């Protein structure tokens, strides 16, 4: 096999571009192999077209590179949820949009989705202090400040929790407890994503009806509170 073509050196001041290329290469390796053990300095260097020592200007270990992919993936999931719910006109529609977008992300990015839950999360790894503080302020009226502080870094779940609480407040959901309902939804959506990915030969119902049944039963038990 021919060696990779030498990569053209970035102009001065564009080292961030190389960092992005390293993270992109790691993400591609993770998608191709489904394993973070495939992310080695040698494999990444080969993909990018650089010498392995060049990576040390940005990352000390392959583990740090994988964590950068995890951080990027979490941000991508949050953006997908926020985009999906942006056009919704009611709390019910926002909550439905959250759940559907979460399922779509898991189905379209199965390897990256699995990576989110396969590694311990280093303290302060993917959210700034300002974002965490803002999330705590938003969640505290729902679950209390101490619980909000624990939930805030899980941004995708925080969005789900806020929208469950909003649906309860405007009467579109008769759920009794926002945290319990959001956790039940999250567990059900997560389980469905993993089961579909790992048991593809099971006679799954077509996408749509099963998901709607799960979401409706958990998020909107007994129908709307006001009729």
In whole angstroms, what is the distance from residue 210 CA to residue 149 CA?
33
Mean pLDDT is lowest, of 16-25, 84-93, 123-132, for 123-132
The alpha carbon torsion through 168, 170, 173, 174 (nearest 10 deg) reads 70
Average pLDDT, the chain: 82
C-alpha closest to that of 19 among 67, 65, 61 = 65
Whole-prediction pTM: 0.79
Model confidence over 144-163: pLDDT tens digits? 666 656 665 578 888 888 89
In whole angstroms, what is the distance from residue 91 CA to residue 163 CA?
6
Cβ 163 vs Cβ 98: under 8 Å: yes
Model confidence over 178-187: pLDDT tens digits? 888 999 999 9
Residues 6+ apart with CB under 8 A from 201: none
């Amino acid at each position: 096999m021919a060696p990779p073509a030498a990569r053209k050196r970035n102009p001065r001041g564009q080292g961030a571009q190389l960092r992005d290329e390293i993270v992109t290469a790691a993400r591609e390796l993770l998608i191709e192999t489904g394993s973070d053990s495939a992310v080695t300095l040698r494999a990444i260097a080969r993909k990018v077209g650089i010498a392995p020592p060049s990576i040390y200007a940005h990352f000390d270990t392959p583990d740090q590179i994988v964590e950068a992919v995890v951080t990027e993936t979490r941000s991508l999931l949050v953006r997908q949820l926020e985009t999906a719910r942006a056009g919704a006109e009611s709390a019910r529609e926002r909550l439905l949009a959250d759940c559907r977008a979460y399922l779509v992300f898991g189905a379209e990015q199965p390897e990256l989705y699995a990576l989110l839950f396969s590694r311990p999360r280093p303290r302060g790894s993917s959210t700034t202090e300002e974002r965490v503080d803002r999330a705590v302020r938003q969640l505290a009226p729902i679950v209390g400040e101490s619980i909000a502080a624990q939930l805030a870094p899980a941004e995708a779940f925080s969005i789900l929790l806020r929208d469950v609480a909003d649906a309860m407040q405007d009467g579109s959901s008769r759920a009794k407890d926002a945290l319990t309902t959001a956790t039940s939804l999250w567990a059900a959506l997560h389980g469905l994503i993993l089961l579909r990915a790992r048991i593809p030969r099971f006679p799954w119902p077509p996408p749509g009806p099963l998901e709607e049944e799960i979401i409706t039963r958990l998020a909107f038990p007994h129908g709307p509170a006001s009729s």
